[in-house]
Amino acid sequence: MTGPRSDARLRSPDDILAEVAAAVSLQEGPAGVRSVVRALRALAPTSTRGISRHTGLPVPIVAAVANELRRRDLLGEERPSRLTPAGLALADQLGMAAPIDLDATCPRCAGHEVVIPPRLHQAVDRLAQIMADGPEADLALDQSLCTPETKVRRVVTLLRAGVLPGGSLLLVGDDDLISLAIAVVGDVLGSPLVDRLAVVDISERILDHIVAVSSELGVRVEAVQHDLRQPLPNQLRGQFDAAMTDPPYTPEGARLFLSRAVEGLRPGPAHSVFFSFGPKGPDELLEVQREIMDLGLVTNGFIRNFNEYRGSGILGGTGFLQHLLTTSATASALPASGYDGPLYTRDKRTRQREYECVACGERMPVGLGARWESVAALRAAGCPHCGGGPFRPRQLLPETAPPAQPAAQPATPPAQPAQPAAQAAQPARPETASQPEVAGVEDVVVRAADERDLPRLAEFEAEIARISFGEAAVDDPAKHEARLAKAMTRSRAGMYVACPAEGGPAVGWMWMSINQNAVTGERYANFRSLAVAPVPDRTAVAELLISTGLGFAAEHGVTEVVGKVHVGNVPMRALYRKFGFEATHLSMRLNRLPEAR
């Protein structure tokens, strides 16, 4: 028998690195694989996310490299991950000595270079609530919401750089709600932080949220709805002392948003632009840095892993912050006629990626020109071989031209009849087409729950009970485990868990049942349980579980889906709203009767 697992020890270390890099189409090449092996040696035992933060490679790429190392018996199957004896021998051959027990990372700031002072901790809590009440990320626009802590760190960075307090600041795109972070921090400190604050964004819902919350705080924010493909509106050009932007994660996105930031700044050198961006391969980062140079900007500071994001498995949950300064040569790099080229990741994604069904091992291409253009579409359809799932990302496939459209196909699809407006206070409909795109969590897979999950599921059920019933909750895990075990003997249908793609305990749990209305006789689906552990991509995992549940409901032909949520569970209510759920009932409870008079 031959193959990667049988003869890895017979090939040279450089050949192994090259093979693994080729298997996952790694842009960083063998050097990228070397960095993963070095991290595994230095951090053992460690997680995929830990390796991602250490190497700067996105989580899905690290997971793919780790899988190839396992195929060659170089990485163990246990979690957290460790190199096998063969893997340690490979590390030795590559000149990686036993790790030195020396961590030079600042224990207070964790490498962020700034800390959140204790007096601003309440600002973090307030911003978490503002995020829960606000709009969700639009993945089609490459949005990925940064954490409340990151928002406050950005404000602290502006203060540290002398940009605040006072002066004027332009936010070029503000899905991260930095305008509200500035307002909240100023409110906590008891003093306004900026004389003029403007936001330009294409999203009306984001701008509406910013205006509503800032008005409550007594802070005026100029909210301008505008497509940044077009030049900056005249009332914003050449007006500001500093700018901040977190653009779409493409070189074109960087050039466009930075050009608009430059257009908004006052003429002359030494004006600040704070630029956030996600981890990319060296070739793409070279393009981004060339765009910065072409704009006549210079780097004044750079902090890796400064930004942390929610629901951003594709980024590894982090991104860098680069402090740029204008020079006498600074000028916009775009024509006055505007920009009409590719901008978002979806505009540039031409290569298909192979995905493997965890249940049966079948592999299928996903992407432009394939039968399934997105992983969400594949999940909704199920594996074509066994009908199951979930699916694990594998290597990128060679570039292919999209198939020609058949001659008989009309250039545009026929118009569909208008659908009647949904009735008020209706539960969400389970049609797949109406579901929002789910945030990328390629390092998490969903599978059917079984007996091995019972202890973990009992913990989730106990936590659900505590949230729902407080001191009156039945929170003994043993009782919940017994109840769930009995339910599994009847039927496991509708029981799903979210687990790390590498394996390990469940990080999320969803239980959906198909019920029948005793009065009308109509069937409906009910989210009996939904819980996610406090993991970095918690919201994204919850979205994945809800999407799985709606797919299950659609398979059973039900007409509506219902879910109960405690009135104080604001994040869960917001998540349900994202999927089209509307409030229909509110339970009222009186804990004690008033005394008779």
Domains of the chain: 10-93 (1.10.10.10), 118-335 (3.40.50.150), 355-393 (no CATH), 432-578 (3.40.630.30)
- Return the ∠ at Cα 188 (arms to 185 and 194), rounded to 5°: 45
CA 590 from centre of chain: 40
Q: Is the pTM of this model over 0.85?
A: no
- Please give the pLDDT value at position 414: 33
523 vs 306: CA distance, rounded Å? 49
Q: What is the CA radius of gyration of the chain?
A: 26
| Omega within 30 of 0 (cis) for the link into 251 | no
Q: Which residues contact 462 (CB under 8 A, 6 or more apart)?
A: 473, 475, 476, 477, 480
- Are the C-beta atoms of residues 510 and 553 closer than 8 Å to each other? no
Q: For the stretch 16-43, what's the b/e string if a residue is b when 16 or more beta carbons lie within 10 angstroms of its beta carbon?
A: bbebbbebbebebebebbbbbbbbbbbb
Please give the pLDDT value at position 88.
93
Longest dimension (CA), the chain: 91
CB 30 within 8 A of CB 14: yes
| Sign for the pseudo-dihedral over CA of 246, 247, 250, 253 | negative
**What is the predicted pLDDT for the residue at 406?**
36
CA angle 318, 22, 280 (to 5 degrees): 20
C-alpha 242/C-alpha 158 separation (Å) is 9
Dihedral (Cα; 483, 488, 494, 495), 10-degree rounding: 70
Q: How many CB atoms lie within 10 A of CB 596?
A: 4
Query: The tokens 């990741």 sit on which residue?
Result: 345
Query: Do 549 and 449 touch, CB atoms closer than 8 A?
Result: no
Q: Phi and psi at residue 326, in whole multiples of 5°?
A: -75, 160
| Average confidence (pLDDT) per 10 residues, the chain, 597 residues | 52 91 88 93 85 81 88 87 92 82 79 91 94 72 80 97 95 96 96 96 92 94 94 95 92 92 96 92 88 95 89 61 96 84 64 79 83 76 82 67 38 34 36 38 79 91 77 80 87 88 85 74 82 81 86 76 75 76 71 59
User: pLDDT at position 346, please?
Assistant: 58
- Provide the residue count of the chain: 597
Which two three-digit tokens encode residue 203? Answer: 């999203």
> What DSSP line would sit under 404-462, residue for residue?
PPPTTS-SSPPPPPPPPPPPTTPPBP--GGGSPPPPP-TTEEEEE--GGGHHHHHHHHH
* CA 213 – CA 408 distance, rounded (Å): 52
Amino acid at 9: R
Q: What is the pLDDT of residue 567?
A: 66
pLDDT at 409: 34
In a 13 Å sphere around the CA of 98, the CA atoms on its Cβ side amount to 1
d(CA 555, CA 545): 15
pLDDT score for 96:
87
CA atoms within 13 A on the CB side of 2: 2
Cα of 537 vs its chain's centroid, Å: 6
- Token pair 């394939």 is at which residue? 370
Alpha-carbon dihedral sign for residues 279, 312, 256, 153: negative
